[in-house]
Structure 1
Amino acid sequence: MPFQEVFYRPVFSRILAAVTIGVCAIGVIAMVWQDAESAVRYAWLLALIAVVAWAMFWRPSLRVQEHGITVVNVFRTHFVAWPAIEAIETKYSLTLRTAHGVVRAWASPAPGRQRTYGLARKDFDGVGQSARGEHESLRPSDALSTPGGNLAQVIRGHWERMSAAGLFASGVDPEASVTTWHWTTIAVIAGLAAATIVGLLV
């Protein structure tokens, strides 16, 4: 069976980002229209809020690929090769424990208490053995009826099948997993923050 790639980015976060950016854009336009001089001083704050909203809520994503998993977070992108994964958890967010450290997916936080209230045994049917703790225990966030739990099981399922097939026998390639910093994003946020401070103080 050919591998089917999975791409995940939460819809609610994208809506939140779009609304925030839209409101900031309207605010800047209104400033320029009413008082261009004030806009030069105060529009930086709205621009900063818009960029932060994009970085925090629009950009983060998770892609399950044939050769590994790409996790795009606010300031870093991680590519984790399958052999490097040691455990998949969902306690606070979908988390990959790897041979090189811990990678948490900003795009997939653990569900809130309201979302997990009323879960039944059937919500956990099919959860992989690697998710189970002592005495076969499972976390509410492992439920397949939650977005994070379902996504975690997609990853666990492929990882467990590869492990059972002996595809990890050759060990972990230390250069297969890569972390890339979003220097442009960091620089833009830092620049807008500095401009905001100057605008407010001058």
Structure 2
Amino acid sequence: MAFQEVVYRPVFGRALAVITVVVCAVGVVALFWGDPAAGLRYAWPIILVAVVAWALFWRPTLRVQQHGITVENVFRTYFVPWPAIRQIDTRYSLTLHTSQRKVSVWAAPAPGRHRTLGLASKDFEGVGESAKGEYGELRPADAVSTPSGNLAQLIRGRWEELRETGLLAAGEDPEAETVSWHYATITAIALLVAATAIGLLV
């Protein structure tokens, strides 16, 4: 059976990004409509908010692929091949531990306390053995009814399957695990911060 790639983007975050960008766009248009000079001076912080909202809420993505996992966060994108994974954790967010680093998945934070209060034993059915602690305990964020737990179980299932069938026996290739910075986003935010400071102080 062919491997089916899974792409996860949090719907709430993307909706929040769209709403924020639209509100910011309306604000910029209103500024220039009322007073072009004021628009040139005060539009920058509004644009900055829109760009930050896009980076924080729209960009984060998790891709579970045949040869590894791609994690796109705010400022960096990671590719973690299956043999590089040492542990899959959900303490604060879905996190992949490798021999080189910890990769937190911004798209899958741990659920808040209000979400975990109603969890029952059925919410943990099917959770893999590798999720359990020293005494067999599980975290609320491991519940398969939560995004972090559901995605963690998806990854654990694939990882454990590859390990059990010997497909990870060849070991880790240190060069296969990669990190790329989002220089365009970083530069845009830095320029907007500078423009905001100039506009408000000059």
Write the deviation string for residues 29-81 of structure 1: whole angstroms up to 9, x where unpaired: 00000000000000000000000000000001000000000000000000000
Partner SS state of residue 63, structure 2: strand
Q: Show CA shifts across 1:88-140 (max 9, x none).
A: 01010000001211000011100001111121111101000000002210000
Most deviating of 114-123 and 58-67: 114-123
Counting only pairs closer than 5 Å after superposition, residues 96-115 of structure 1 correspond to structure 2 as 96-115=96-115
Runs of 4+ in 1 over 2 A off after TM superposition: none
**Structure 1 equivalent of residue 83 of structure 2:** 83
**Equivalent runs, 1:1-202 vs 2, <5 Å:** 1-202=1-202
What amino acid sits opposite 2:78 in the alignment? H
Identity of aligned residues (%): 63
After superposition, what is the alpha-carbon deviation per residue over 1:12-33, rounded to whole angstroms, capped at 9, x for unaligned? Answer: 0001101110110000000000
- For residues 175 and 134 of structure 1, the distance between their equivalents in structure 2, rounded to whole angstroms, comes to 32
Amino acid at match of 1:128: G
- Aligned partners of 2:119, 2:13: CA distance in 1, in Å? 24
User: Which amino acid in 2 is paired with 1:189?
Assistant: I
Q: Give the TM-score normalised by structure 1.
A: 0.99
Q: Which amino acid aligns with 2:176?
A: A
Secondary structure of residue in 2 paired with 1:78: strand
Aligned equivalents of 2:127 and 2:172: distance in 1? 26
What amino acid is the match of 1:199? G
The AA in structure 2 aligned to 1:135 is Y
CA shift for structure 1 position 171: 1.1
Query: How far off is 1:2 after superposition?
Result: 1.6
Query: Which runs of 5 or more structure 1 residues have no equivalent in the other structure?
Result: none
Which ranges in structure 2 are unaligned for 5 or more consecutive residues?
Answer: none
